[in-house]
Amino acid sequence: MSHFPSPLDRLAIEVPSWAYGNSGTRFKVFGSAGTPRSVEEKIADAAVVHRLTGLAPSVALHIPWDLVDDFGALRTHAEEQGVRLGTINSNTFQDDDYKLGALTHTDAKVRQKAIDHHFECIDVMLATGSRDLKIWLAEGSNYPGQADLRGRQDRLAESLATIYERLVSVGEEQRLVLEYKFFEPAFYHTDVPDWGTSYAQVVALGERAHVCLDTGHHAPGTNIEFIVMQLLRLGRLGSFDFNSRFYADDDLIVGAADPFQLFRIMAEVIRGGGLDEDSEVAFMLDQCHNIEDKVPGQIRSVLNVQEMTARALLIDRDALTAAQEAGDVLGAHEVYMDAFSTDVRPALAAWREERGLPGSPMRAYAESGYQREIEESRVGGTQLSW
């Protein structure tokens, strides 16, 4: 049976441009045949993911990695490929000036440089038709006493307020989403380490500022679905960055480490209205494929999100509520586990075929010859990487 509740039809997962470039670890960036040499080739790869899955209609850009002379032309190129340009991600972690901070730096000139970069990102948003400006800050300190913790929060609030004021002045739809990460590259303290800090900062800005939740940016054992619930309850969950982590880093294929966790997260998304018709929650992958091929890596990722969403939609909410209200601990748990244990893959294959998509996108990609085509044609030039 291929019938699923209508929220499944609304599921759209933005893919990141950087996922198609070369990636690696702290020790080495690995090259691979067929890697894009231009932003246009990244978008072409992303378009293949959408054509095969119907799940990835937009591509997030990263500035300055994806800078071009004419973003209007890039927008047209994307639309011709069947996708649109999405979230604009800023970068204040690669310049030498930002060694001790960017938006939190003690030097007003460095802070202004970081603010001006975000102004540039807002200009890009206007040219691409993007709604969201996403900010992740690799800022903090390594040793007790190295920095004034409160002073950095005050400077961060002032810098974000300046960026937000510019953002809301250029249009009625644009939003600021502030990501958090509990450590790395700073190891004593991070300026935005958790959802509470991000929430406190965005609430002070205004109603068009929200939290971005990266599923890999939590300490081991963190109940991420509780955070999802709370941010939805407070109306401040702006977007997801989907990925997985096993130990201290992230960026692996979403659902690879703990499919049950992804199921639980999507259950709270559905419970909180995150897939309702009027929801503004944005779903995006944030992954870097180090050793696997880039395009099928993204296909696998969006399919994992879809599969766990489909399972979560099978939760018998009436039975669950009845068990919860009756104090039936094991009965309530069984309702959850029944949904999680249901194999929805055949039904999803039929669901795709009814919409003119291949039943098995992974197999369709392998048989399409696209990987061989890009490996043979993308010779010469400079491969893109982060």
Residue 331 included in any domain:
no
CATH (domain of 130): 3.20.20.150
Residue 266 included in any domain:
yes
Residue 328 included in any domain:
no
Q: Are 284 and 239 in contact (CB under 8 A)?
A: yes
Residue 332 included in any domain:
no
Residue 283 included in any domain:
yes
Euclidean distance between CA atoms 128 and 173, whole angstroms = 13
Euclidean distance between CA atoms 285 and 223, whole angstroms = 20
Euclidean distance between CA atoms 333 and 323, whole angstroms = 9
Domain count, the chain: 1
Residue 324 included in any domain:
no
pLDDT at 1: 45
Residue 245 included in any domain:
yes
Q: What does each of the 386 residues of the chain score in pLDDT, given as a tens digit? A: 456 778 999 999 999 999 999 988 878 888 999 999 999 999 999 999 999 999 999 999 999 999 999 999 999 999 999 999 999 999 999 999 999 999 999 999 999 999 999 999 999 999 999 999 999 999 999 999 999 999 999 999 999 999 999 999 999 999 999 999 999 899 999 999 999 999 999 999 999 999 999 999 999 999 999 999 999 999 999 999 999 999 887 789 999 999 999 999 999 999 999 999 999 999 999 998 888 999 999 999 999 999 999 999 999 999 999 999 999 999 999 999 999 999 999 999 999 999 999 999 999 999 999 999 999 999 999 999 87
pLDDT at 171: 92
Residue 319 included in any domain:
no
Q: Residue 105's domain spans which residues? A: 10-313+344-377
